[in-house]
Amino acid sequence: MSETRATTDGGRAVTLRFEKAEYEARLARARAEMARRGLAAVLLYAQESHYYLTGFDGGGYVFYQCGVATADGRLVLLTRRPDLAQARDTSLYDDIRIWYDAEDQDPARELRGILAELGLRGERIGIELATYGLTGFNHHLTRDALDGFCTLVDASDLVRAQRLAKSPAELAFVRRAAALADDAIEAMVAAGGAGTIDSAITAAGVAAMLRGGGDMPPAGPLVNSGRRAVYGRGVGGPRRLDAQDQVMLELGASFCRYNACIEHSVAIGTPRARQVEMFDVARDTLVAMTEAARPGEPVGRIAEVFLERLDRAGFARQRFAACGYSLGATFRPSWMDVPPMIHAGNRQELLPGMTLFPHVMLGDMEAGIAAGVGWTILVGERGAEVLSRLPLELHRR
C-alpha cells in the first residue's frame, strides 16, 4: 500500500497517500484557478476536496466541517474534536481549529472568526455547495453567519474539475480497485445458487474486496434478485433464490478511496429466452459505448450510442436515460463521482486520465426480467482501456 512520510511547514510529520510534491502541485492549480475567478479563498466542504488537496482522510463531513484554502497559500481546517488526530496525521492542514458540541453551538460563527483573522472581510469567497458535506441546514448557518461579511460565490467545480483527469499515481489505485471488483464478482457468482440467501452473495463480494486489501466501499454492493432485479437501487431485507431465478450484481470496489465499478448478470437455472436476448443487446451496446469513449469527444457521445442502439433494438421502454458516470476517490454515501453523468447532450470533453463507469441496464418491469453489464474504463490518448479482466457473459448457476 502506498504511503509517504512528509513534513509540513510547521515541522509536523504526516502520512500521505502520494508524494508531497503532488499535493503541492494540486494546491498550486487550485490557487491559480481562484486567482482567475477573482476569489480570495474557497470554503471546502466536500471530503473529496480535503482528500485531494491535503490528504485529509476522515468522516467528519457528516457534521459541520470546513477547510479554508486562500489564494495566497494558507490552509485552515475547522472540524470537531474526534477528527483532530486524523487531520493532524493524514493532512497538510497545519492550522486546525476545533469546535465543540453544545446546545447553542454555531460552528459557522467560528468560521466567520477564522475568515476575519485571515483578512478576508469584504472579499469574494468561493464555496462548495454541490456536496454531501454541506447540508441545507449547515448552508443556512453559513449564509447567515457570513451575511454582510463577504460575498459568497458557488465554486463547487473548482476542485472538482481538477479531479477529473487522474495522475499516474492515482491511476495505480484505480487499477488496484478494478482488480478487487473482478475478484468480488467472481466470489459472488460462485456463492450464488438455488436456495442461497442473496445477502450471502453480498457477504462473499465484500469479503473478497477486504481480503484483497481494499476499503469498505462508499456504498454497499447491489445484489437484486427475482423481481428486484429490475430495480435501479438496492433494497433492504434478504431473499432466498429460487431454482429458476436471476441476480443483478453491481458494486464499487475501493482502494485508498479510489473506486472502480462493475455490473454483471446471473441466471439461476435455465435463463429465459427474453433475458438472453436482453443480455446480448446490452453486451454489444456496452462494447460500442466503450469504443466511442475517445479523447476530445463529448461525454454525451457515449450516451448517443447507448440510446441509438437500444432504441433500434426495441428497448426504449426498458432502458434508463443515463448510462454511467465518472469515478474517482469518493466517500459515503456514493461511489459515483459526479458530475459528469453520461447522458445525451453532456458537452464535457473526454480527457485522457478520466475514469468512467459506462453500463447498460435493461429492466422489463412487466415481465420481471433484467439484464445488465458494466465496467470501468480509462480514457487514454487514443481511446478507452477496459480495466476489468472478466468476459462479458451471462453467468449461469
Chain segment 147-182, per-residue pLDDT in tens:
999 999 999 999 999 999 999 999 999 999 999 999
The DSSP call for residue 8 is: -
Burial 70-100 (b: 16+ CB within 10 A, else e): bbeeebbbbbbeebbeebbebbbbbebbebe
Q: What is the CATH number of domain 168-396?
A: 3.90.230.10
Q: How many CB atoms lie within 10 A of CB 232?
A: 13
- Domain limits, CATH 3.40.350.10, in the chain: 4-163
pLDDT at 10 over 80: no
Q: How far is CA 5 from CA 8, 51, 55, 86, 91, in A?
A: 10, 16, 12, 14, 11
Q: Quick one: pLDDT at residue 27?
A: 98
| Cell 493524514 -> residue | 90
Q: What is the mean pLDDT of the chain?
A: 96
Three cell numbers, residue 154:
458557488
Q: How far is CA 25 from CA 13, 20, 67, 282, 316, in A?
A: 19, 9, 18, 41, 46
Q: Name, in order, each residue with C-beta under 8 angstroms of 83's C-beta and a sequence gap of 6 or more.
A: 58, 59, 60, 65
Rounded CA gap, 22 and 369, in Å?
48
Q: Smallest Cα–Cα separation from 225: which of 204, 243, 241?
A: 241
pLDDT at 283 over 80: yes
Rounded CA gap, 97 and 135, in Å?
20
Q: Name, in order, each residue with C-beta under 8 angstroms of 280's C-beta and a sequence gap of 6 or more.
A: none
- Domain limits, CATH 3.90.230.10, in the chain: 168-396
The values of phi and psi at residue 349, to 5°, are: -75, 135
| Cell 463547487 -> residue | 156
The average pLDDT across 333-346 equals: 97
User: Which of 1-5, 39-43, 88-92, 357-361 shows the lowest per-residue confidence on average (mean pLDDT)?
Assistant: 1-5
Give the homologous superfamily in CATH for domain 4-163.
Creatinase/prolidase N-terminal domain (3.40.350.10)
pLDDT at 2 over 80: no
79-112: per-residue pLDDT in tens?
A: 999 999 999 999 999 999 999 999 989 999 999 9
